[in-house]
A = this chain, B = another copy of it.
């Protein structure tokens, strides 16, 4: 879904209008929730994405995740340094953390996570859960075989020819 060849330079406002429009269009087409995202650099679009959770049976298919995956596929890189994300609603913690992993430079958003909560989405709840101690969260978390797991991780340090990310 990356938009190649379109080298038109757009303003932040024009890119946000596009993200808002995408969200509406794809929601009305039955793709999923009302969320749309654009990734651009210097005002030039490299990829777009929209929520496809219900249409693709993928709870991770939020607009931003889809857009990051599309941008990385277009660039053949897992590193989006210098790129910017335009999205009609503040990213949930999944998508915000994905933006960090992708090394995005800037996030421009419209509505916020409380607005998402107001129309029935769990964004605010999940932000809240992540601040709680593990034993207070609604998902049960349990640690097991710590030393064996740590020993496994330490192999990474000795691995030669690894690609860092």
Contact = CB atoms under 8 A, between A and B. Distances in A.
Interface residues of A, number: 91
B89 A119 contact: no
Interface stretch (A1-9, A39-47, A134-142): A134-142
A104 to B, nearest CB: 6
A127 B134 CA distance: 13
Contact of A108 (B72, B106, B142): B142
Contacts of A34: 152-153, 155-156
A105 to B, nearest CB: 7
A107 interface: yes
B78 A58 contact: yes
Contacts of A63: none
Contact of A27 (B75, B106, B155): B155
Interface of A: 12-13, 16-17, 20, 23-24, 27-28, 30, 32-34, 53-54, 57-60, 62, 65, 68-69, 72-73, 75-80, 88-90, 92-112, 115-116, 118-120, 122, 125-127, 129-131, 138-146, 148-150, 152-157, 159, 161-165
